[in-house]
Amino acid sequence: MNPNRLLDLFCELVRIESPSRREAAMAGRCADELRSLGFEVRFDGSASQTGSDTGNLIAHLPGTAGGAIVLSAHMDTVQPCAGIEPVVEGGVVRSAGDTILSADDKAGVAAILEGVRSALEDGASRPDITVLLTTCEELHLLGAGALAEDELPAGAPCYVLDADGAPGTVIVGAPCHWTLEARFSGRAAHAGVEPEKGASAIAMAAAAVAAMPLGRIDEATTANIGTISGGCATNVVPDACALAGECRSLFAERAEAQKAAMTAALEDAAARFGGAVEVEWTKSYDAVLYDEDDELVRGLSSAIRAAGLEPRFHRSGGGADANVLCARGVRAVTLGIGMTAFHSVDEHIAVADLEGSARLVEALITEGARG
């Protein structure tokens, strides 16, 4: 692993503006890098489903030994990402201005590209290597969700470099995710002349939220109401109000119980105020849950130690592309890359963590060749 080359590549990538649905420039740069390493690179047809200006990048390099692995990260970032200028101070990379750094997930992309290049330079035996760089991950994993089921090699482990936690961190649990949309209907009336004839849809929503179990429900389950909107004027009893929220859990049955409790609170509040409510739940993705003695996790632990890192096992409260891929039968697991305060202008990453992630990619390739 070449530390200077890695840092230069990371700084180059973060300067490329690539918000969700505008990843084409980033995709082009990554494609050039992979082609220079001998990969066959192509883009799938997912853009028609995601609305992005490019498809998911899928690159393949035949191995010199048995086995196959998939290395994955995402190319899109959240806003504000225009004009990012990275600054390296005291062994830490930050943004110089009022922007994110985009270590989420360009640190993952850079680690894959440098780790693969270093492994090829070493000339050691390698498995078949597939690199998957997705679009629109920040939009409820749309890019991975639009990936055709036959795009990845059957049975190959898929390592998704896209989590907080130091390199060596293995996300052995990530929750399923459900989104909620509810629309209350009441009766409009003049708020000063005859409020008794009205039925406030906002009051219904307020009562429903007050009655819901929200926040951390248990060690594996969370729920939240994130937005409420309704009404048209201060002198009108509102006849419409909408709210949106979510539910997450590592266990499907607990998610179902939480959804039922939230739905009951919505319906009870509507009935209490003489109105009605439409409730719609949509599943975003399924949960991922591994035992620490799972074959995939054991192999990861070996590679992590070979990279000079310490295995750490964590359960996350958020999802990643691995959630979508696992639901399709791919043996996918998310790895920590050291990004900190991501999705904020305070985002940063230690240079040592960039290097640790690249070393881990090298070790995963070596481990993959051993089968």
Q: What positions carry a catalytic annotation?
A: 76, 137
- DSSP class per residue in 92-137: EEEESSSS---HHHHHHHHHHHHHHHHHHHHT----EEEEEEES-T
Bond prior to 105 in cis (omega within 30° of 0): yes
- Which pair of tokens denotes residue 276? 């009605």
Q: Which of 143, 160, 159, 157 shows the shortest CA–CA distance to 57?
A: 143
- Report the alpha-carbon distance of residue 258 to residue 347 in Å, rounded: 33
CA distance 269 to 243: 13
Which two structure tokens, joined as six digits, stand for 300?
A: 């990861």
363 with 303: CB under 8 angstroms? Answer: yes
- Dist. CA 347–CA 252, nearest whole Å: 33
Q: Dihedral sign, CA of 183, 187, 189, 191? A: negative
Tell me the C-alpha to C-alpha distance, in Å, between residue 61 and each of 35, 135, 158, 300. Answer: 10, 21, 15, 21
* DSSP per-residue letters across 65-94: SS-EEEEEEE--BPSP-TT--EEEETTEEE
